Amino acid sequence: MSDLLARLEAQGIVQSVDAALGRLLATKATTNGEMIGLAAALASAALAEGHSCVPLSELRAFAIARAGDDAGAASPLVRGLPAIDELRRALLDCDLVSGDGAAHTALVLDAEDRLYLRRYYCYERTVAAAIGARAQSTPPAIDAASVEAALDRYFTAQRDTDQVAAVRLALRSRFVIISGGPGAGKTSTVLRLLAILIEQALAAGERAPRIALAAPTGKAAARLAESLRAPGLPADDAVRAALPVDAKTLHRLLGVTRGRTGARYHARPLPYDVVVVDEASMLDLALAARLADALAADARLILLGDRDQLAAVETGRVFGALCQAASASTPPAPSTSLAAAAFSRRKVPDEQAAFAFPPTMVANASALSATFVELRGNHRFGAHSAIGRLASALRVGRADMALHILDAGGDEARRIDVGASVLLQRIVRELVPRYAGLAQAPDANAAFAIADRFRALCALRETAFGAVAINAAIEYELRRRSDRIDANGWYAGRLVIVGGNDYRLGLFNGDIGVAVCSGAGGALEVWFRNADGSLRALPPLVLGAVDAAYALTVHKAQGSEFDEVTVMLPERDARVLTRELVYTAVTRARKKVELWTSGEVLTQAIARSTQRWSGLAEAVDSAVSRIGS
């Protein structure tokens, strides 16, 4: 069996770190050491694919998939894997394996035959416990009449919508999930919800709730803060003064700093009554567990995101798993969600009736389903626009519809079959001119306005159609045309992305900067947006790792939007190409999207949906049931 582990490592099915863990546990197990080591190595390898666990029934298929295109060569190796029953018996008999993680064992095999490294099992249970407690707890009483009056002010003609349903739901629960596509009104809904919460507290003679806005990345946090600063909210000065004015990355909110394994807010809770997390689809399991640990016992948690977007690069698909579990347990209803159906009545004089679910709908609904609202509207592009129809086709996996929309000849959404032989010419002819104006921008505001109009998005980082190669081609041409390049390769109009968190400078992974020359003969400065929307400049030499940002991977582009987008898929199909990736890329565009891909590759991508093995949904259901019983 140890021979098999070595061969799996040589084949790349497990990496060196996975194999090292397997060998370590094999030496520590008192029985079935080799089999335990093999299982541990595969469970560790699953983390690299974003899974928090691996079902025993999927081990063989997982090993073949990890072998990539050379599955035939992997077959003799995976045939050597033990039978599921044999492996299960070995795990159950081993002192390094427990069924619930309570014994501090290295591995956990749960009742559903899911094998975990114990840390990730505990992450899931931490998140589940926090959600379960909030789903069942009752927030402070509200004045139904004043809430109805506030809804009249804040929503006017949009009174009977999912947005109103979301506000009503969040007022009666300490936990709520609000999902919706781009332009569905998630942040505007939350802004009005926060205003009503503040109004309720002030009217009762209490202090305004302390509110934290956060997102997984600096770019997403900045966009959240920008959205919530939008004018036109019909609130008085006291309410406006209590509303948050900026947002933080989750790492900053939790006090996670370089060189520390823990977080500042762990043993002591965050000093907030309400925590709003935007772009929650990017929330990985470890970060979600840290957040759950840090919340005050009576704090509200509001998750905003798009269930159809890409999951986090790291382990776990927290938002997607919660949305799937909540919507799967929601009974059929004429409206778009349980909450919307429950709260579609305009005026209800009795407070109990206004903020309770209809009895006929409660019978088959879990508490998790009663925390979920899906917003169906779209204010960025109309549902009947080409981008809107394309997004809908991608969401449901209809490649035929997507190709029909793209190939219909419209300018708003179209597809071009671009081969590697003509890629460079197209980059020079069509992409480089979109960035040429950056060099002539008179100031940082003008430069960012140009940068926000267009972006090239790549499915992969490497390969000829990857972000690295596309950036290199664009940057080479821009440097060639520049009349001033400093000794370190900086030039006016250079667009860059920060590659890691720099707490000293207040820069975070994903932050975008642009180099601007301060007047004739002036020094180059690299400007960045702060979370409050203001701009600040830094000398290029103080920056750490930065990359060109003319082409971003789709993962890096999450939380962003641009007027126009060009999406580049590789010439050959790859496992990372999924409908969620294409959907996320397409919906970054406000006005126009162009896909450089063959119909065959696009069809294969749309047919493939992201799969993340997890027990989170079941853990939440169990936590809710346990608390409610």
What's the rounded mean pLDDT across residues 416-427?
94
Q: How confident is the model at residue 494 (pLDDT cuts 50, 70, 90)?
A: very high
Q: Phi/psi class of residue 230: alpha, beta or left (left: φ > 0; alpha: ψ in -120 to 50)?
A: beta
Termini Cα distance of the chain: 46
Q: Which H or E element spans position 215?
A: strand 211-215
pLDDT in tens, 129-150: 999 888 888 777 888 899 999 9
The whole-number pLDDT of residue 545 equals 83
Give me the sign of the Cα torsion angle 185, 186, 187, 192: positive
For residues 500 and 49, the model is more confident at: 49
Give the highest mean pLDDT range of 76-80, 100-104, 151-155, 440-444: 440-444
Token digits of residue 264: 């500042």
**pLDDT exceeds cutoff 60 at 592:** yes
Three-point CA angle 615, 616, 618, nearest 5°: 70
Phi first, then psi, for residue 338 (nearest 5°) are -60, -45
**Residue 102, class by beta-carbon neighbours within 10 Å (0-12 exposed, 13-18 middle, 19+ buried)?**
exposed
The whole-number pLDDT of residue 529 equals 86
Across all residues in the chain, what is the average pLDDT? Answer: 85
- Collapsing DSSP to helix, strand or coil, 248 comes out as strand
- What value does the CA radius of gyration of the chain take, rounded to a whole number of Å? 26
pLDDT in tens, 60-74: 888 888 877 555 556
Of the listed ranges 360-369, 530-539, 583-592, the least confidently predicted one is: 360-369
DSSP per-residue codes, 261-290: SS-SSSSS--S-SEEEESSGGG--HHHHHH
For residues 75 and 193, the model is more confident at: 193
**pLDDT exceeds cutoff 70 at 260:** no
The whole-number pLDDT of residue 350 equals 38
The whole-number pLDDT of residue 263 equals 56
Q: Which of 270, 314, 220, 228 minimizes the C-alpha distance to 511?
A: 220
What's the rounded mean pLDDT across residues 488-507?
88
What's the rounded mean pLDDT across residues 380-394?
84
Query: Which pairing describes strands 495-498 and 546-548: parallel, antiparallel, or unpaired?
Result: antiparallel
Q: How confident is the model at residue 266 (pLDDT cuts 50, 70, 90)?
A: low
Of the listed ranges 34-43, 353-362, 439-448, 536-545, the least confidently predicted one is: 353-362
- Collapsing DSSP to helix, strand or coil, 389 comes out as helix
**pLDDT exceeds cutoff 60 at 541:** yes
Which residues on adjacent β-strands are paired with residue 46?
none
Query: Which pairing describes strands 512-517 and 524-529: parallel, antiparallel, or unpaired?
Result: antiparallel
Query: What is the residue whose two structure tokens read 């346990």?
Result: 626
Q: What is the DSSP letter of 491?
A: B
**pLDDT exceeds cutoff 60 at 258:** no
> Whole-angstrom Cα distance, residue 228 to residue 235?
13
Token digits of residue 464: 């000829």
pLDDT in tens, 171-217: 988 999 999 988 888 988 999 999 999 999 999 899 999 999 998 88
Q: How confident is the model at residue 376 (pLDDT cuts 50, 70, 90)?
A: confident
Report the percent of the chain where pLDDT is more than 70: 86
SS3 track for 492-557:
CCCEEEECCCECCCCECCCCEEEEEECCCCCCEEEEEECCCCCEEEECHHHCCCEEECCEEEHHHH
The whole-number pLDDT of residue 188 equals 87
Q: How confident is the model at residue 368 (pLDDT cuts 50, 70, 90)?
A: confident
Q: Which of 106, 118, 104, 138 minimizes the C-alpha distance to 53?
A: 118
pLDDT in tens, 295-323: 999 999 999 999 999 988 889 899 998 98
Query: Which pairing describes strands 274-277 and 300-305: parallel, antiparallel, or unpaired?
Result: parallel
The whole-number pLDDT of residue 464 equals 93
Token digits of residue 482: 């520049």
Q: Identity (one letter) of the amino acid at 205?
A: G
The whole-number pLDDT of residue 489 equals 85
For residues 352 and 234, the model is more confident at: 234
Report the percent of the chain where pLDDT is more than 90: 55
DSSP per-residue codes, 99-126: SSSTT--SEEE-TTSEEEEHHHHHHHHH
pLDDT in tens, 327-362: 765 443 333 343 333 333 333 333 333 333 332 233
Q: How confident is the model at residue 627 (pLDDT cuts 50, 70, 90)?
A: low
Query: Which pairing describes strands 372-375 and 413-416: parallel, antiparallel, or unpaired?
Result: unpaired
pTM over 0.95: no
